[in-house]
């Protein structure tokens, strides 16, 4: 095993699994598959009694003091008091990503979401698979989308997905499945015309069915974290697998999702398995994984003025914990002036927040930087500017990328590996595709008040 994380040859059992095998049960006990005896199941059904969900395989330090569980949150924040005015919350969203093994270029890989009735981030174009592949962002097997929900601009749907890398061993590009799923969910959201409430599980199910019926997608699997929000800040979010979300509020971790895994490095996943792979797995005593969308964890939360919501794939969560992301976001929220800090009141929300998220104001007026690159020929420092949400997205991807390539910084994945395989410990980061969606919630009333103040001046 090489000392540099970026050059080490990863053991085969580190590939995210698409088939649940007997050796994986020993992974939970901290034993390496390289030392396991060959085992087989007497009856295929026996596997199911051993499959269980890991509520939190990567435990974050002091997490009990940092968050409220999803169930408690639904009870406390699931509604708005009847005697209070319901604010209108607008969402300002940016995406950033970096493919595994490639240099991160934030100025080329960071995208603002601009709401329209016929456009969306993550919507693939083209009649052939090759044309659709050509238009994808630099996110590798990761994918994402953001789209308005039908003609109702007050409702927004967005998601992040991570193709299961184990499919590459069968000659399948996992990116086709994850990008296909996100594109179909974006297409479904844009065309939605129903009057009933539309939830993330329903969106995930429709997107999944369209994906497995696509004749150009022969096989694959993916995790997904899907959210649907309404104009008053209500958010319903479904998480299947080990992608997930983190909700930050005024310098604290307000909520975070728990990853769903069958075993170590074997997340819940939706999949399409060809008959020949299914037969091969059964011969060797394995169980191809295909967790349906209804197995996703579902939670209801409220987004408030000044909240920051982060959706990310495991390329982030394997290298950064919740405290790392809180530190990154808090730093940039303070330095940009979005959050103000005082000794008596703690954090408060700045009156200029609405300017910082505005694509027409933030780059010119506040010069928020998402990239700093020295031109070696002129020694000049060109600055790629953007909005607050794009700055946050780029900062998280950049830090996750640096951590993944470090041989000295043990992230959540390395610490879990040390528990699972104490005789062959892993040190440093885990190189992977990295994708992030950042959502900044702004109360429209605050935006209107600032506009009236400008008019008076």
pLDDT single digits (tens) 296-318: 999 999 999 999 999 999 999 99
b/e code 287-309 from CB counts within 10 Å (16+ = b): bbbbbebeebbbbbbbbbbbbbb
pLDDT at 14: 55
For residue 65, pLDDT beyond 80: no
Burial class of 450 by CB neighbour count within 10 A (0 to 12, 13 to 18, 19+): middle
Mean pLDDT of 46-62: 38
> Which pTM value belongs to this model?
0.82
**pLDDT at site 193:** 83
> What's residue 72's pLDDT?
36
Residue 406 lies in a domain: yes
Identify whether 188 is part of a domain.
yes
Q: What is the pLDDT of residue 281?
A: 74
Of 330-344, 366-380, 432-446, the one with minimum mean pLDDT is 366-380
Rounded average pLDDT over 389-397? 98
Say whether pLDDT at 83 is over 80.
Answer: no
Pairing of strands 152-163, 220-229: antiparallel
In a domain, residue 358? The reply is yes
Range of the domain at 141: 16-51+88-456
State the pLDDT at residue 427: 92
Tell me, yes or no, whether 79 lies in a domain. Answer: no
- Tell me: the pLDDT tens digits for 168-205? 888 899 999 999 999 999 999 999 887 677 899 999 99
Helix (H, G, I), strand (E, B) or coil at 57: coil
Q: How confident is the model at residue 55 (pLDDT cuts 50, 70, 90)?
A: very low
If you average pLDDT over residues 360-365, what whole number do you get?
89
Residue 128 has pLDDT above 90, yes or no: no
Residue 142 within any structural domain of the chain:
yes
Whether the Cβ atoms of residue 29 and residue 265 lie closer than 8 Å to each other: no
Number of domains in the chain: 1
The CATH number of residue 330's host domain is: 3.60.40.10
Chain centroid, CA 442 distance in Å: 21
Q: Give the C-alpha separation, 233 to 247, whole Å.
A: 13
Percent of the chain with pLDDT over 90: 58
| CB-based contact 373:382 (threshold 8 Å) | yes
Q: What is the DSSP string of 164-208?
A: -GGGGGGT--HHHHHHHHHHHHHHHHHH---SS---HHHHHHHHH
Q: Is 164 part of a structural domain of the chain?
A: yes
Alpha-helical segments (H) within 213-358: 275-283, 314-317, 322-335, 353-356
Q: What is the pLDDT of residues 155-173, one digit of tens each?
A: 999 999 999 988 888 889 9
In a domain, 229, yes or no: yes
Asked whether the predicted pLDDT for residue 377 surpasses 50, the reply is yes
Cα angle 304, 305, 309 (rounded to 5 degrees) comes to 65
450 band by pLDDT with thresholds 50, 70 and 90: low
pLDDT, tens only, 394-429:
999 999 999 999 999 999 999 999 998 888 888 999
Residue 400 lies in a domain: yes
Residues 139-158 have pLDDT tens digits of 999 999 999 998 766 899 99
Per residue in 13-43, pLDDT tens? 456 777 665 555 443 333 333 333 233 333 3
């Amino acid at each position: 095993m090489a000392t540099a994380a970026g050059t080490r040859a990863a053991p085969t059992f580190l590939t995210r699994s698409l088939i649940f095998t007997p050796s994986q049960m020993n992974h939970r006990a901290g034993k390496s598959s390289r030392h396991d005896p060959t085992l087989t199941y007497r009856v295929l059904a026996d596997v199911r009694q051993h499959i269980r969900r890991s509520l939190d395989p990567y435990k974050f330090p002091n997490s009990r003091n940092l968050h409220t569980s999803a169930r408690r949150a639904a009870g406390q924040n699931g509604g708005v008091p009847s005697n209070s005015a319901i604010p209108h919350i607008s969402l300002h969203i940016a995406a950033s990503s970096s493919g595994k093994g490639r240099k991160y270029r934030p100025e080329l890989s960071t995208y603002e979401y601009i709401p329209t009735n016929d456009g969306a981030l993550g919507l693939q174009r083209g009649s052939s698979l090759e044309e659709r592949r050509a238009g994808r962002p630099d996110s590798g097997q990761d994918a994402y989308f953001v789209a308005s929900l039908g003609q109702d601009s007050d409702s927004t749907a967005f998601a992040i997905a991570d193709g299961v890398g184990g499919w590459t061993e069968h000659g399948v590009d996992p990116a086709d499945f994850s990008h296909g799923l996100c594109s179909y969910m974006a297409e479904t959201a844009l065309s939605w015309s129903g009057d009933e409430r539309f939830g993330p599980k329903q969106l995930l199910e429709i997107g999944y069915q369209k994906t497995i019926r696509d004749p150009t997608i022969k096989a694959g699997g993916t995790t997904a974290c899907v959210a649907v929000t309404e104009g008053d800040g209500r958010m319903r979010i479904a998480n299947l697998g080990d992608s997930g979300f983190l909700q930050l509020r005024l310098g604290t971790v307000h909520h975070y999702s728990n990853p769903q895994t069958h075993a170590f490095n074997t997340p819940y996943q939706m999949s399409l398995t060809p008959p020949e792979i299914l037969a091969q797995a059964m011969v060797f005593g394995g169980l191809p994984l295909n967790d349906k969308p209804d197995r996703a964890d579902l939670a209801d939360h409220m987004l408030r003025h000044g909240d920051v919501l982060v959706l990310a794939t495991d390329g982030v969560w394997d290298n950064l914990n919740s405290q790392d992301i809180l530190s990154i976001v808090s730093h940039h929220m303070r330095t940009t002036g979005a959050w103000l800090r005082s000794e008596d009141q703690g954090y408060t929300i700045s009156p200029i927040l609405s300017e910082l998220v505005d694509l027409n104001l933030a780059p010119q007026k506040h010069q928020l930087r998402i990239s700093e690159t020295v031109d070696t020929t002129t020694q000049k420092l060109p600055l790629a500017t953007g909005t607050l949400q794009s700055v946050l997205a780029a900062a998280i991807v950049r830090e996750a990328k640096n951590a993944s390539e470090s041989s000295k910084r043990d992230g959540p994945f390395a610490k879990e590996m040390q528990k699972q395989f104490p005789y062959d410990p892993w040190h440093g980061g885990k190189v992977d595709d990295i994708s992030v969606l950042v959502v900044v919630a702004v109360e429209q009333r605050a935006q209107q008040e600032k506009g009236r103040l400008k008019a008076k001046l």
